[in-house]
Amino acid sequence: MKQIYFDNAATTKIDERVLKEMLSYFNEKFGNASSVHEKGREAREAMEKARKIIAKSINAKKSEIYFTSGGTESNNWALKGLFFENYPEKNHIITTKVDHDCVLNTCKWLETQGAEVTYLDVDEEGFVNLEQLKNSITEKTIIVSVIHGNNEIGTIQDLEAIGKICREKNVLLHTDACQSFTKVPIDVKKQNLDLVTLNAHKIHGPKGVGAIYIREGIRITPFFHGGGHERKMRSGTENITGIVGFGKAVDVANKKDIEKMKILRDKLIDGILKIENVRLNGPMGNKRLCNNINVSFNNIEGEAIGGYLEQRGIMTSTGSACASHSLESSHVLKAIRLSPIQSNSSIRISISKFTTDEEVDYFLKTLPGIVKKLRRLSPLS
Amino acid sequence: MKYSKKVMQEFLYPKNMGEIKNPDGVGKIGNPICGDVMWIYIKVGKNKNKEEIIKDIKFKTFGCAAAIATSSMITQLAKGKKLKDAKKITRNDIFDSLKGLPSIKMHCSNLASDALKKAIEDYEKKKNEV
Ligand SMILES: Cc1ncc(COP(=O)(O)O)c(C=O)c1O
Ligand code: FES
């Protein structure tokens, strides 16, 4: 059976051009970027090339980009690094109720270390309340950390407006841009960003590699101590193959793919909303990530829908409690005020630049029958 | 988390789904942990020895794959059984017939055995009322 991969918010298939670029760094050019000989130089040059591409893509300087093991590490470093740099003079962190678990659980842990954390509310579409943000900033505030493109419901926050507030109030702004990177313009100067978390595996690059942009002059405690790599900020022999792949993935990303995804996304949304009693979670149009669709189907359970879709070769994901490890429903869907039942009846469909019109048609042809069958089985309908 | 082949089969091709018109007993159970809901309908009849048995049984479930599979399984286990034996069906019986369930899904099988018990109790209550 043909497989249709609609879970690109979880991870993406590596682009062939990226893979090709990486391969020789496994064997021929296996050097350690710290070595002074030819092999080392080769690796170092490849790494600096990637750094340059990534820096340029967000209008930063090369020296402001640090490579890490991915989004989780970058987010952990941003929050813990700034907290320990500023504690105990300052101890307040502001984030949102719709940030990724690796931000929220870092904040929860920092609370055990003396941090005070404010979790900002969002509106029904997932947008941060800017007034509440303004009013939450105190003299003790170290940093505001806001997810740029939401991984569950696709909401794109207005970073420029948030950046302006943070600049006026003189606090730092960090954004987790794992989902939005290369899909939504990021300009650290225009948007007043002080720290930005990026990773490769959401953009057809390899897993286990990411980066963080840290504005020049910001004092932050290193996360890993050791041999002094990455200008003494992040020790550990650099993951050259990963970094090379990351750079190439950014290099090959292009606007045409975004436009294509938007069209397919909207075709999917329109088609799904033709089914009765379905609601779209998150905003419509340009404030939504070009690859994200999240919908709740009245009276049927997300995991069950996902299971039937998979039987037809379609891989999606669910925000439903029943499918998660904890049996707690999604904190994001709760934050946009879905009832537990509504949030349990949601699925996320996330496409990529490789998604085709035929795949979309097949999905739209398959879904209504599944919904009908499960609704017939449901005591709620 | 991975489901057994048997669970997938019962989930994708559930038996005895739907409702019974004018049932003799109904058991409605909600799962406090995950918010899921299961209804079981029974029709009671008698066997040759004039003992009460579950003549027909159907279910409706709002829940995960495991909840649907356990619903389907319990209706098959209960169908034709004497009431007093059907009441004794435990989550372990369901677990075994399904060739296992992921540990986080064990509560889904509670849902099924509780719903069946409740349906039988409902029948007995109504019977005693008349
Ligand atoms: C918004 C967001 N932040 C962070 C992460 C974690 O990134 P990584 O898997 O590279 O650690 C992810 C994806 O898993 C994500 O979607
Ligand atoms: S019934 Fe909800 S997790 Fe199974």
Q: Does the annotation count B108 as an active-site position?
A: yes
SS3 of residue A27 by DSSP: coil
Structural domain for B121, as ranges: 5-125
What is d(CA B45, CA A260) in angstroms, rounded to the nearest whole number? 61
In a domain, B86, yes or no: yes
Closest-CA residue to A212 (of A136, A102, A93, A101) = A102
Report the amino acid identity of residue A76. N
Domain tally for chain B?
1
Of the residues B34, B64, B65, B83, only one is catalytic, namely: B34
- pLDDT beyond 70 at A320: no
Preceding omega of A222 cis (within 30 degrees of 0)? no
Optimal mutation site among B1, B2, B7, B64, interface A, most CBs of chain A within 10 A: B64
In a domain, B73, yes or no: yes
Phi (first) and psi of residue A198, to 5 degrees: -135, 155
Partner A, chain B 87-126, Cβ-Cβ below 8 Å: 104
Complex ipTM: 0.91
Q: What is the mean pLDDT of chain A?
A: 96
Q: Extract the tokens encoding B19.
A: 């409702």
Domains present along chain A, CATH in parentheses: 4-12+254-377 (3.90.1150.10), 16-252 (3.40.640.10)
Cβ-defined contact of A377 to B17 (cutoff 8 Å): yes
What is d(CA B70, CA B76) in angstroms, rounded to the nearest whole number? 10
What pLDDT was estimated at residue B108?
84
Q: Extract the tokens encoding B3.
A: 């489901």
Q: Which residues sit opposite A234 in a β-bridge?
A: A224
Number of Cβ within 10 Å of residue A195's Cβ equals: 26
Of the residues B67, B108, B111, B112, only one is catalytic, namely: B108
In a domain, B42, yes or no: yes
C-alpha pair distances (Å), A276 with each of A158, A177, A298, B36: 32, 34, 9, 21
Cβ-defined contact of A322 to B61 (cutoff 8 Å): no
The 10s digit of each residue's pLDDT in A79-126 is 999 999 999 999 999 999 999 999 999 999 999 999 999 999 999 999
Minimal CA separation from B51 to chain A, in Å: 30
In tens digits, chain B (130 residues) has pLDDT values of 789 999 999 999 999 999 999 999 999 998 766 778 999 999 999 999 999 999 999 999 999 999 999 999 999 999 999 999 999 999 999 999 999 999 888 888 888 999 999 999 999 999 888 7
Number of Cβ within 10 Å of residue A168's Cβ equals: 11
Cβ-defined contact of A322 to B8 (cutoff 8 Å): no
Give me the residue label for tokens 């969002």: A122
Q: Which residues sit opposite B30 in a β-bridge?
A: B37
Catalytic sites of A, residue numbers: 322
The 10s digit of each residue's pLDDT in A185-215 is 999 999 999 999 999 999 999 999 999 999 9
Q: Which residues sit opposite A67 in a β-bridge?
A: A211
- pLDDT beyond 80 at A130: yes
Rounded to 10 deg, the angle between the A101-111 and A71-86 helix axes is 30
Optimal mutation site among A327, A328, A372, A376, interface B, most CBs of chain B within 10 A: A327
Mutate to test the pocket of ligand 1, among A102, A105, A157, A198 (most ligand atoms within 8 A of CB): A102
Nearest protein CA to atom 2 of ligand 1, as residue = A178
Cβ-defined contact of B68 to A376 (cutoff 8 Å): no
Find the CATH number of the domain harbouring B78. Answer: 3.90.1010.10
Q: What is the B99 CA–ligand 2 centroid distance (Å)?
A: 17
Closest-CA residue to A134 (of A144, A126, A148) = A144
In a domain, B130, yes or no: no
In a domain, B22, yes or no: yes
- Angle of CA points B3, B4, B6, to nearest 5°: 120
Judged by a CB distance cut-off of 8 A, whether residue B8 touches chain A is: yes
C-alpha pair distances (Å), B117 with each of A116, A149, A151: 49, 48, 42
C-alpha pair distances (Å), A192 with each of A23, A167, A182, A186, B80: 37, 7, 18, 10, 71
Which residues line ligand 2 at a C-beta cut-off of 6 Å? A 322, 327; B 31, 34, 36, 63-64, 66-67, 105, 108, 111
- Diameter of chain A measured on Cα atoms: 71
Q: Are A193 and A172 in contact (CB under 8 A)?
A: no
- Compute, in degrees rounded to 10, the torsion defined by CA atoms A153, A159, A160, A161: 80
Report the amino acid identity of residue A112. T
Closest-CA residue to B17 (of B53, B45, B57) = B57
Q: Extract the tokens encoding A307.
A: 């299971």
A170 Cβ partners below 8 Å, 6+ apart? none
C-alpha pair distances (Å), B110 with each of A112, A303, B8, B30, B31: 36, 19, 18, 11, 9
In a domain, B29, yes or no: yes
The 10s digit of each residue's pLDDT in A265-298 is 999 999 999 999 999 999 999 999 999 999 999 9
Give the DSSP per-residue string, A184-212.
Answer: S---TTTTT-SEEEEESTTTTS-SS-EEE
Q: Which residues of A touch B (CB under 8 A)?
A: 299-301, 303-304, 307-308, 311, 320-323, 325, 327, 329, 340-341, 344, 376-380
C-alpha pair distances (Å), A200 with each of A101, A126, A259: 18, 25, 21
What is d(CA B28, CA B31) in angstroms, rounded to the nearest whole number? 10
